[in-house]
Amino acid sequence: MSMKRQRIIRLTLSYLVVAIMSVIILYPILWVFGASISPGSTLSNFSLIPENPTWAHYREIFNLNESSYMIWYWNTLKICIITMLGSVLTISLMAYAFSRYRFWGRKNGLIVFLILQMIPNFAALIAIFVLANVTGLVNSHWGLILIYIGGAIPMNTWLMKGYFDSIPRELDESARMDGAGHLRIFWQIIMPLARPMVAVVSVFTFIIPFTDFILAKVLLRTEEQYTLAVGLYELVAREYGSEYTTFAAGSILIAIPIAILFLSFQKYFVSGLTAGGTKG
């Protein structure tokens, strides 16, 4: 078989795999979008391309008199942004300490983080609820934020530490000779060089509150405090008011802030993921 024919076969197989994966990824999205513009509230006569498409469901969720969707959206965005900022700051400081300093319990601490990241948050639901109840954080966004930040620390600290290990220590030593202190080295030298990994951690920690249902359902009690996941669930779980098409419209809009954040950090994302595995 000639080299030209081999290249054609490889190229054809590559395009075939890409086409199959594209269908697998895009079909559910198109299905949900089709449901969101279908008339009525049920999916009994649903088709991927509705005969009489309507934007009424989108207008409904933006109408504050008919729906609390915008309140849920704001709650979720607030939790996501604070979680992202708090996680990036906490994880960066911890990873810098583990990467640059040698102290008692350092290795054991990293091992503990490795073990903790294997345990999902919902495995400790009872303990989390009891702790939130004792501290008065039930039905509070701050309770969720603290849990999300704490849950993001183990895995992301390992990723961030691996990236910090790849930054030459000679830069720290040169800055120290010029009179720079630890915090100045961290903020002005290490963090600008760690932008790719900061982008990765930011995207990971921003997505968590959007996709989490279990913790939010356990801690939040009133409709005004609901996040999108809990609010949309209640929308379709009501005994006599299952609004599946409105649920689909609300689900589509969830992707907008995540897509904006991902596209904003896209140029850093790949390099951050590949560099975070450096052995320290």
Q: What does the pLDDT look like over 79-107, one tens digit per residue?
A: 999 999 999 999 999 999 888 888 888 88
Confidence at residue 89, expressed as pLDDT on a 0 to 100 scale: 94
- Rounded to whole angstroms, how far apart are CA atoms 95 and 278? 13
User: Can you give the pTM of this predicted structure?
Assistant: 0.83
Confidence at residue 87, expressed as pLDDT on a 0 to 100 scale: 94
DSSP 180: -
Fold of 66-275: MetI-like fold (1.10.3720)
- Rounded to whole angstroms, how far apart are CA atoms 276 and 161? 8
Domain with CATH 1.10.3720.10 in the chain: 66-275
Q: Is the pLDDT confidence value at 110 over 80?
A: yes
- C-alpha distances out from residue 154 to 40, 88, 125, 133, 213, Å: 46, 12, 18, 24, 21
**Chain mean pLDDT for the chain:** 83
- Rounded to whole angstroms, how far apart are CA atoms 47 and 31? 8
Q: Is the pLDDT confidence value at 16 over 50?
A: yes
- Rounded to whole angstroms, how far apart are CA atoms 229 and 205? 16
